[in-house]
Every structure is written in structure tokens, then in C-alpha cells.
């Protein structure tokens, strides 16, 4: 189960990142680099993690016109990461262009193609925010719709809340990747995350990978928390 846990490195310096990675040692092999760390380190966090033998999910959530996203995806493909993401809300044409660009760039550099994930509806959006946005219907129905659109566009999977994992699995099949942030072990403090579940709940609902940040990086003993989460995932 360890390889299905991705630890979110939301830190603002190389030294803060190294501190976490050093503390977690061999207990974690997959890290997520998001906007904060990527921008703060001028992208250097990525080669640093790769050199340390870690796998990287580069979470920059691209959302722009098809040409811009395609060209940017081609550049990001050269970094050697295992996963990249974009917002499904950018549309079918944008997602298709991203897939074509990644395929072409991987063929060109002879490297393994990074997996492409579409972010459906952010896990921080609850019913109230959904209404603020004037979005019709239920969040869950929109997530499943976007997952099907992403699948049609050639995405390998989606980022969604664990609360929607079972419906996405039913709609998109066994092979489709479902990556779930919004993971909160029982007893976690409240946060900006709205659509949450425990590690056990997410795996039971059909999640392929769990993304966990603050419950681990903010824990008194991060390694013990990793072990607890991996234990729960395997139950």
C-alpha cells in the first residue's frame, strides 16, 4: 500500500522540503510537488526529489486555452515526473491537446509517458461554495460527468474527493485512476477541505492513490502517521 500513498509537500523552501523528506526516509516513495513548492524553488524541487529516487506527481493544475496547455505540458513532460494534472473544466479539446502533446514529447525523449490526471471539482468546494458559484445540480453528479469527459479525452484518471470515488469507479471502470486528496484520519483538525474521508474510507470507495499533506507534514511524528495511514489503507 505504501506505493499508493502520495505525500503532498506543500512547503515554501528547499530546506523545508528536505526536512520533511529526510524525516520520512524510506517510508515514503511518492511525493506531490504543488504550486507553492514549485514556484518557491524555481522548479528545483523536482530534480532534487528525482535524484533522491522518489517518484513525483507534479500538481500545477493547468487551466488555459488548448494551445497554451499543450505547449506547457510538452515542457513539463521533459522533467521526468510520473504524474501531471490539469483542470477538467478547461474542456475536452484542451484535455485532448494535452494528451497529444505529452504523447509526442515522451516519444521524442524516449522517456516513459507521465500519467495525466484531470482535476474534477476541488475537494475544498462544499455545497455552500457550489451555490456561490451558481453551479446547478449536485457536486457528485458534476464530478462523474467531468470524469467521463476526461476519460473520453484520453486522461489516465482524475483527481476527486473520496466521496465520489465509488460513483467514478462505477462510471469509468477498473483501469481508470482515481486520485483522492481530502484525506483526513479520524480525529483530524478541521481545515479548508470540505469533501473528506478517512484513508480506509477512500480505499474502500475505490481510490487508486491517496494524496495526504498536512495530516502527515503537520503531525508530531510524521513517520508514525505514515505508518498509521498505510496500515489503515491495507485493512
Ligand X SMILES: O=C(O)c1cc(=O)[nH]c(=O)n1[C@@H]1O[C@H](COP(=O)(O)O)[C@@H](O)[C@H]1O
Instruction: Write out the catalytic residue numbers.
Output: 59, 61, 64
- Of 75-83, 103-111, 136-144, 210-218, the window that binds ligand X (rule: CB under 6 A) is 210-218
Q: Which triple of cell numbers denotes residue 135?
A: 453551479
8 touching ligand X, by CB under 6 A? yes
Question: Measuring CA to CA, which residue among 134, 139, 38 is closest to residue 84?
Answer: 38
122 touching ligand X, by CB under 6 A? yes
Would you say 213 and 7 are in contact if contact means Cβ atoms under 8 Å apart? yes
- 230 is annotated as contributing to ligand binding: no
* Torsion sign, CA atoms 102, 166, 34, 54: negative
- Of 62-70, 134-142, 166-174, 206-214, the window that binds ligand X (rule: CB under 6 A) is 206-214
102 touching ligand X, by CB under 6 A? no
- 10 is annotated as contributing to ligand binding: yes
Query: 52 CB contacts (<8 Å, ≥6 apart)?
Result: 21
Q: How far is the CB of 48 from ligand X (least distance, A)?
A: 18
222 touching ligand X, by CB under 6 A? no
The percent of the chain in helix, strand and coil, each rounded to the nearest 5, is 50, 15, 35
**How many residues make up the chain in this entry?**
235
Q: Kindly tell me which of 61 and 104 has the beta carbon lying closer to ligand X.
A: 61
Q: Where are the alpha helices (DSSP H) in 138-183?
A: 139-152, 165-172
Residue of this chain nearest to ligand X (CB atom): 213
Q: Which residues are annotated as a binding site for substrate?
A: 10, 32, 59-68, 123, 184, 193, 213-214
Positions that interact with ligand X (CB under 6 A):
8, 10, 34, 59, 61, 85, 119, 122-123, 159, 181-182, 191, 193, 211-215
Amino acid at each position: 500500500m505504501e506505493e499508493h500513498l502520495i505525500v503532498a509537500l506543500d512547503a515554501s523552501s528547499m530546506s523545508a522540503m528536505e526536512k520533511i523528506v529526510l524525516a520520512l526516509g524510506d517510508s515514503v516513495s511518492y511525493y506531490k510537488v504543488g504550486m507553492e513548492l514549485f514556484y518557491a524553488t524555481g522548479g528545483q524541487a523536482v530534480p532534487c526529489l528525482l535524484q533522491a529516487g522518489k517518484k513525483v506527481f507534479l500538481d500545477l493544475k493547468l487551466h488555459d486555452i488548448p494551445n497554451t496547455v499543450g505547449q506547457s505540458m510538452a515542457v513539463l513532460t521533459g522533467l521526468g515526473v510520473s504524474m501531471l494534472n490539469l483542470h477538467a473544466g478547461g474542456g475536452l479539446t484542451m484535455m485532448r491537446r494535452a494528451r497529444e502533446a505529452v504523447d509526442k514529447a515522451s516519444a521524442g525523449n524516449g522517456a516513459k509517458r507521465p500519467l495525466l490526471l484531470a482535476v474534477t471539482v476541488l475537494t475544498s468546494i462544499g455545497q455552500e461554495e457550489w451555490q456561490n458559484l451558481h453551479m446547478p445540480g449536485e457536486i457528485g453528479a458534476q464530478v462523474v460527468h467531468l470524469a467521463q469527459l476526461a476519460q473520453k479525452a484520453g486522461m489516465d484518471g482524475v483527481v476527486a474527493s473520496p466521496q465520489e470515488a465509488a460513483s467514478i469507479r462505477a462510471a469509468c471502470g477498473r483501469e481508470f485512476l482515481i486520485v483522492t486528496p481530502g484525506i483526513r484520519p479520524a480525529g483530524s483538525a478541521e481545515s479548508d477541505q470540505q469533501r473528506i474521508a478517512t484513508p480506509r474510507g477512500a480505499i474502500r470507495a475505490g481510490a487508486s492513490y491517496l494524496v495526504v499533506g498536512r495530516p502527515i507534514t503537520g503531525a508530531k511524528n510524521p513517520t508514525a502517521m505514515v505508518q498509521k495511514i498505510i496500515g489503515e489503507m491495507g485493512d
